[in-house]
């Protein structure tokens, strides 16, 4: 697991190659396996492979997220804000699980933040994506997870370079490492 975590990097360049159905299924299963507050499972996931929709995702943020239209697929992660006051946490954990499952399959991914961000179309990023995908209220979009076979190589993290001073022992300020 630590090895997988070291290898995972945000990938923003993708090969022009479709993802396998079974891999997309496994990634979505990883999201559905994520823990949620009070087991409320407040999330919903929208798998998008349609090229026109992926192209439109490019405008979901200011500045433009130019790599999104190049992705082979994207999973839009939303939460039911009426169902759980922890929908952000629920959706975030699910997204992280899906990112790790993608990594384990050799699929690159990148988290594109939608919540609390603006689109380049004079509306919030949430309003833009919600309109595009017919997402009703009270659902809100947390983020879009772009997916594709990597067309860039990024170095794995080394355990030696971790910020160990962020770890405290027993009380704040008492360093462990
Ligand atoms: C909450 C969150 C929001 C992010 N939003 C964006 C984003 O909108 N666009 C983007 O290109 N990357 C985004 N990222 C990816 C980060 O830039 C990236 O994880 C960070 O620079 C560390 O690089 P690494 O993922 O390769 O370790 C986001 C990551 C997180 C966790």
- Cβ–ligand 1 distance for 149 under 6 Å, the answer no
Q: What CATH architecture does domain 2-166 belong to?
A: 3-Layer(aba) Sandwich (3.40)
Quote the CA–CA distance of 177 and 156 in Å, as a whole number. 22
pTM above 0.95, yes or no: yes
Neighbour count for residue 126 (Cβ, 10 Å):
21
Integer Cα distance of 146 and 28 in angstroms:
13
**Burial level of 173, CB count in 10 A (0-12/13-18/19+)?**
exposed
pLDDT tens sequence across 130-165: 999 999 999 999 999 999 999 999 999 999 999 999
**Integer Cα distance of 98 and 76 in angstroms:** 11
Domain ranges of the chain: 2-166
Q: How confident is the model at residue 175 (pLDDT cuts 50, 70, 90)?
A: very high
* Rounded alpha-carbon distances, angstroms, from residue 95 to 34, 92, 139, 141, 176: 9, 5, 16, 12, 30
Q: Of 70, 113, 150, which is best to mutate to test ligand 1, by the most ligand atoms within 8 angstroms of its C-beta? A: 113
The predicted structure's pLDDT at residue 51: 98
Ligand 1 centroid, distance to 62 Cα (angstroms)? 15
84-130 per-position pLDDT tens digit: 999 999 999 999 999 999 999 999 999 999 999 999 999 999 999 99
pLDDT at 169: 97
Rounded to whole angstroms, the Cα distance separating 155 from 78 reads: 30
Q: Quick check: CB of 111 below 6 Å from ligand 1?
A: yes
pLDDT above 90 covers a percentage of the chain that reads 100
Atom of ligand 1 nearest to the CA of 154: 26
pLDDT at 57: 98
Helix (H) or strand (E) holding 122: none
Question: Does ligand 1 come within 6 angstroms of the Cβ of 13?
Answer: no
| Max Cα–Cα distance, the chain, nearest Å | 53
């Amino acid at each position: 697991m630590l090895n997988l975590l070291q290898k995972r990097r945000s990938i923003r360049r993708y090969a022009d190659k479709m993802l396998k159905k079974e891999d997309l299924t496994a990634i979505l299963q990883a999201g559905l396996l994520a823990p949620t507050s009070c087991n409320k499972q407040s999330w919903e996931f929208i798998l998008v492979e349609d090229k026109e929709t992926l192209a439109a995702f490019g405008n979901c943020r200011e500045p433009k997220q130019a790599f999104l239209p190049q992705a082979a697929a994207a999973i839009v992660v939303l939460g039911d804000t009426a169902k759980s006051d922890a929908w952000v946490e629920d959706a975030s954990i699910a997204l992280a699980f899906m990112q790790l499952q993608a990594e384990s399959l050799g699929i690159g991914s990148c988290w594109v933040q939608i919540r609390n961000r603006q689109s380049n179309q004079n509306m919030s990023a949430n309003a833009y994506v919600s309109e595009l995908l017919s997402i009703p209220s009270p659902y809100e979009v947390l983020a879009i997870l772009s997916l594709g076979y990597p067309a860039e190589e990024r170095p794995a993290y080394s355990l030696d370079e971790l910020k160990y001073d962020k770890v405290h022992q027993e009380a704040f300020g008492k360093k462990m490492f």
